[in-house]
Amino acid sequence: MLHIARSVDVSAVRTDVTMEELKSVIQACKRYRFVCAFAMPCYTELLIKGLAGEPDIAVGGVVGFPSGADTTSIKVQTAREMLALGCEELDMVVNVGALKSGLRQWVVDDIRAVVDEAGEVPVKSILETACLTDDEIALGAELAVSAGVRFVKTGTGWANKPTKVETIRLIKKTIGDSALIKAAGGVHTLDTILAMMDAGCSRFGVSLRSIWTIMREVDARLGRLDNFELEAAVGDDY
């Protein structure tokens, strides 16, 4: 149980995220020591400033978010800007339409351009598995690994279907240990995280409301409940 927080990227990446919610992300990170925090690009610098002096909590940047349909040059420029701000990880949405069209080289080149720009900074490729068949998920995972990503990630959290444990198993079977797996989209409970860990997932992208619920459950199981409360009410998402 004690390692759950260090497998979580807490996120505030909906369209309607407010300043109060951003403050609550910072507060939650300082409370639970999540491994990384994400906001939309316009808020990323504020998130970095809010977590300054917390060396064990990284801030990540999103690239091509949420559609994946930006041109490669725009993705590279976004990656460059996020890195210049100080982001320590990049989560990039692949070109989902190109993947579904079977345009393998396009997909690989698009991902690799961001990986090359990132250098030693880890890149996670977001497949948006809710839009893909199992064959497309497997292909997307293979292409992402061939392009040099550190993680294959399931979704943005914007799709209308949650990530399933079976999808984690499929990706793990496809890529083995050649990259890590991050689940995002529909990760709402502690039991879901534990089941996905068993299936081979090592990182989880979770919205603020969901991670608050999950960590309260962790606290309860560890017998360490207290009066800590977040300051802001937040919206729900996948």
Q: Give one DSSP letter per residue of 28-79, joined into a string.
A: HHHHH--SEEEE-HHHHHHHHHHTTT-TTSEEEEEESTTTS-S-HHHHHHHH
Helix 41-50 × helix 72-85 angle, to 10°: 20
CA-to-CA separations, 81 to 41, 44, 118, in angstroms, rounded: 9, 10, 11
Cross-strand pairs, 93: 126
Number of domains comprising the chain: 1
What is the CA 143 to chain-centroid distance, rounded? 18
127 part of a folded domain: yes
172 part of a folded domain: yes
Which residue numbers are catalytic? 91, 153, 182
238 part of a folded domain: no
Q: What is the pLDDT of residue 225?
A: 58
Please identify every stretch of the chain with a pLDDT value under 70, giving residue numbers as ranges: 1-2, 224-238
- Tokens standing for residue 144: 């992402």
Supply the CATH number for residue 62's domain: 3.20.20.70
- Give the number of other Cβ atoms within 10 Å of residue 198's Cβ: 11
236 part of a folded domain: no
Taking the C-alpha atoms of residue 140 and residue 128, their distance in angstroms, rounded to an integer, is 10
Taking the C-alpha atoms of residue 217 and residue 44, their distance in angstroms, rounded to an integer, is 29
Taking the C-alpha atoms of residue 43 and residue 84, their distance in angstroms, rounded to an integer, is 14
Q: What is the pLDDT of residue 216?
A: 87
- Picking from 136, 208, 141, 202, the residue whose alpha carbon sits closest to that of residue 173 is 141
Instruction: Determine the 3-state secondary structure of 104 from DSSP.
Output: helix
202 part of a folded domain: yes
- Picking from 140, 207, 134, the residue whose alpha carbon sits closest to that of residue 170 is 134
230 part of a folded domain: no
* Residue range 188-220, pLDDT digits in tens: 999 999 999 999 999 999 998 899 889 988 888
- Give the number of other Cβ atoms within 10 Å of residue 152's Cβ: 29
Taking the C-alpha atoms of residue 91 and residue 124, their distance in angstroms, rounded to an integer, is 5
Counts for the chain of helices (H) and strands (E), in that order: 9, 8
Please give the model's pTM, rounded to 2 decimal places: 0.92
Taking the C-alpha atoms of residue 146 and residue 140, their distance in angstroms, rounded to an integer, is 10
How many Å is the maximal CA-CA distance in the chain?
53
231 part of a folded domain: no
Q: What is the pLDDT of residue 224?
A: 66
Q: Residue 37 belongs to what domain range?
A: 5-222
